[in-house]
């Protein structure tokens, strides 16, 4: 399983990096063709792509909270050092390849993660009256994934609003020892746990019979366009039935990745939520956004209605 996950993540990472670099370079080329009055105006237009604001930051303009991750602070400094659109061509984004670097590189830390994950999910399921004949366990796929990444995050230069899928809670790597790690994970897992009675899951995931799981991502493009990601132990109503699996057996029940959006216009999807039977299947979809890209709509999402007027 380690080799399969490593290969899938490498393929995903390479595809994400190539697609994001291509998208950025195309937007830079478009900006260069415009008759903008100054280098600052060109950078301000690129800011709409890079971080969806109308102003490119200048040195010392932003004050970073001391609790902000080091990688984010370093990226802010790289951005402030850019003084021309040409220089922006080589600017590196911390999620350009779509991978959230692993904070559980040590085997003992991963062991604690697995223990707390299983303890919380089984405890919460029991408290919600969703008891099962067998105890839920972390599968081998996730164990392999944790060696390589905390999750995946699309830098979303397209302004689609898509959220990350981060199964290891943010800040986990700041724990000083195993006891602190255990306490931090337990608190995060309890906070992020979702049951079959979760309002969003009840509304949007009626094709899933959910035992429990975790919300592992959330992002918004606007108040009517919200993305959520999950890792759920569930049964796919209809699909698993059609495959001849019996719901009262263990076959068909497994950990699945799920994404839902509160807008039915998301990426021209016909029937969210999106449910993936494995992390590997999910990575293939998440990294292939370029295949689903509607550029004309994306430019409006980035620049607003002015793009339609310019065209």
- The pLDDT tens digits of the residues spanning 207-218 come to 899 999 999 999
**pLDDT given for residue 105 in this prediction:** 83
Where residue 307 falls among pLDDT bands split at 50, 70, 90? low
- The secondary structure element, H or E, covering residue 274 is strand 274-276
Same domain flag for 45 and 114: no
**pLDDT given for residue 71 in this prediction:** 82
Same domain flag for 200 and 224: yes
- The secondary structure element, H or E, covering residue 243 is none
- The neighbouring-strand residues paired with 255 are 233
Same domain flag for 142 and 40: no
In a domain, 308, yes or no: no
271: pLDDT strictly greater than 70: no
How many domains does the chain fold into?
Answer: 2
The Cα–Cα gap between 254 and 198 comes to 19
In 3-state terms, what secondary structure has residue 106? coil
Residues spanned by the domain of 259: 99-298
Q: What is the rounded average pLDDT for all residues in the chain?
A: 88
From residue 64, alpha-carbon distances to 30, 80, 82, 235 in Å are 32, 13, 18, 44
Same domain flag for 28 and 149: no
- The pLDDT tens digits of the residues spanning 8-62 come to 999 999 999 999 999 999 999 999 999 999 999 999 999 999 999 999 988 777 7
- Picking from 67, 94, 121, the residue at the C-terminal end of a domain is 94
In a domain, 303, yes or no: no
Could you tell me if 287 and 15 are in contact, meaning their C-beta atoms sit under 8 angstroms apart?
yes
For tokens 């969703």, the residue is: 130
Any idea of the CA torsion for 109, 111, 112, 118, to the nearest 10 degrees? Answer: 140
Start-to-end CA span in the chain (Å): 49
């Amino acid at each position: 399983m380690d080799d399969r996950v490593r290969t899938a993540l490498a393929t995903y990472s390479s595809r994400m990096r190539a697609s994001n670099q291509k998208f950025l370079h195309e937007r830079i080329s478009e900006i260069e063709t415009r008759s903008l009055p100054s280098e600052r105006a060109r950078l301000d237009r690129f800011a709409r792509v890079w971080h969806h604001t109308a102003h490119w930051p200048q040195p010392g303009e932003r004050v970073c909270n001391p609790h902000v991750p080091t990688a984010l602070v370093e990226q802010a400094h790289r951005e402030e050092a850019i003084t021309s659109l040409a220089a922006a061509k080589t600017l590196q984004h911390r999620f350009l390849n779509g991978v959230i670097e692993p904070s559980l590189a040590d085997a003992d830390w991963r062991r604690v993660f697995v223990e707390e994950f299983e303890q919380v999910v089984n405890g919460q399921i029991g408290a919600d009256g969703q008891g099962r004949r067998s105890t839920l366990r972390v599968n081998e796929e996730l164990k392999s994934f944790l060696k390589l990444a905390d999750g995946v995050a699309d830098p979303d230069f397209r302004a689609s609003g898509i959220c990350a899928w981060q199964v290891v809670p943010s800040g986990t790597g700041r724990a000083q020892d195993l006891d602190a790690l255990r306490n931090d994970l337990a608190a995060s897992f309890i906070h992020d746990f979702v049951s079959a009675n979760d309002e969003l899951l009840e509304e949007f995931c009626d094709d899933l019979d959910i035992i429990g799981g975790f919300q592992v991502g959330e992002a918004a493009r606007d108040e009517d366009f919200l993305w959520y990601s999950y890792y759920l132990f569930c049964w796919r109503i209809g699909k698993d039935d059609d495959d001849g699996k019996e719901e009262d057996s263990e076959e068909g029940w497994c950990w699945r990745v799920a994404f839902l959006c509160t807008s039915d216009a998301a990426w021209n999807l016909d029937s969210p939520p999106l449910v993936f039977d494995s992390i590997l299947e999910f990575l293939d979809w998440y990294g292939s956004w370029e295949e689903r890209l509607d550029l004309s709509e994306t430019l409006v999402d980035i620049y607003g209605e002015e793009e339609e007027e310019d065209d």
